[in-house]
């Protein structure tokens, strides 16, 4: 793996707000409670430290420092709640940038989709099946909202049932990109086509993986889409079988950004 370093700079009003040097200065103030000591620890002059702090304060929508007078040690300087949150946010952005850069080496990850790229480097889920698609229709009833989703390389769409409140919260509209998360036990296999109204897909059983306490089947839906299903102990399926798989629309979790 490449030894990379991605440095984060944030500008406000087209002027430098924070960079690694200024963030280190704020961190040292948080540790020492003193601007002069923080300047020494950050290996900058006291004047340079003041210049950086004044520049940040002039751009910041909220104060960054609190001066405490008196006390046993003659007072000092502490960070405001806003400044502490800024440090935490900066840490999160640094981690996100580093992970985003790491996906450059994986050519299997599409960089044409913000949702797809973000999910690959930031989301961890127990759901074995994670598909990406776009909303093609929304049909709302009193009890649920049926979301029809088109997935690349799959001839027919997948329908997910969610609450109307969830549809509003996810801001689902036509052509919006979504990720579907489906656990392997939610994918049911049949030899003959079941009498279901939606989410019935012809499937080729490509591989059976024997686990210590269970079996998993790798399915091919359409031409290339891979899907994982759990197999019952008495399931009598063989590699190469042509089956039908059913995905319960109420057992599909939708994610978007």
Domain ranges of the chain: 10-104, 114-255
Query: b/e for 111-123, b at 16 or more Cβ within 10 A?
Result: eeeebbbbbbbee
Cα angle at 198 between 197 and 200, to 5 degrees? 110
Q: Tell me: the pLDDT tens digits for 209-250? A: 877 677 889 999 988 899 999 988 777 888 999 999 999 999
Q: What pLDDT does 153 receive?
A: 85
> What is the structure's pLDDT at 18?
94
* Residue 64 dihedral angles phi and psi, to the nearest 5°: -105, -25
Which pTM does this prediction carry?
Answer: 0.61
> Considering the domain 114-255 in this protein, what is its CATH number?
2.40.50.100
- Reading phi first (left if > 0) and then psi (alpha if -120 to 50, else beta), residue 14 is in left
User: If we measure between CA atoms, which residue out of 229, 156, 148, 150 comes closest to residue 190?
Assistant: 229
Taking CA atoms, 200 is separated from 148, 159, 204, 248, in Å, by 14, 10, 13, 9
Say which CATH class 10-104 falls into. mainly alpha
Q: What is the pLDDT of residues 62-92, one digit of tens each?
A: 999 998 765 454 468 999 999 999 999 998 8
The per-residue pLDDT for range 176-190, each reduced to its tens digit, is 999 899 999 999 999
Residue with tokens 């304060």: 57
Tokens standing for 206? 């490509």
């Amino acid at each position: 793996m490449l030894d990379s370093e991605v440095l984060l700079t944030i500008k406000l009003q087209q002027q430098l707000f924070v960079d690694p040097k200024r963030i280190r200065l704020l961190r040292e103030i948080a540790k020492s409670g003193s601007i002069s000591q923080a300047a020494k620890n950050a290996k900058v002059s006291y004047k340079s430290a003041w210049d950086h702090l004044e520049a940040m304060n002039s751009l910041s929508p909220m104060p960054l420092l609190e001066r405490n007078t008196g006390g046993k040690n003659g007072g000092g300087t502490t960070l405001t709640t806003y400044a502490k949150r800024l440090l935490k946010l900066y840490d999160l952005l640094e981690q996100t940038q580093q992970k985003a850069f790491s996906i450059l080496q994986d050519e299997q990850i599409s960089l044409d989709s913000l949702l797809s790229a973000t999910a690959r480097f930031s989301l961890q889920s127990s759901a074995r099946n994670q598909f990406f698609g776009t909303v093609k229709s929304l049909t709302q009833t009193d009890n649920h909202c049926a979301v029809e989703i088109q997935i690349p390389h799959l001839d027919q769409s997948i329908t997910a049932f969610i609450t109307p409140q969830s549809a509003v919260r996810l801001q689902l509209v036509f052509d919006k990109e979504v990720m579907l998360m489906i656990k392997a036990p939610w994918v049911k296999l049949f030899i003959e086509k079941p009498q279901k109204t939606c989410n019935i897909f012809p499937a080729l059983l490509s591989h059976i993986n024997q686990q210590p306490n269970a079996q998993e089947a790798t399915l091919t839906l359409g031409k290339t889409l891979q899907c994982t299903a759990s197999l019952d102990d008495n399931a009598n399926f063989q590699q190469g079988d042509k089956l039908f798989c059913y995905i319960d629309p109420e057992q599909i979790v939708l994610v978007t950004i």
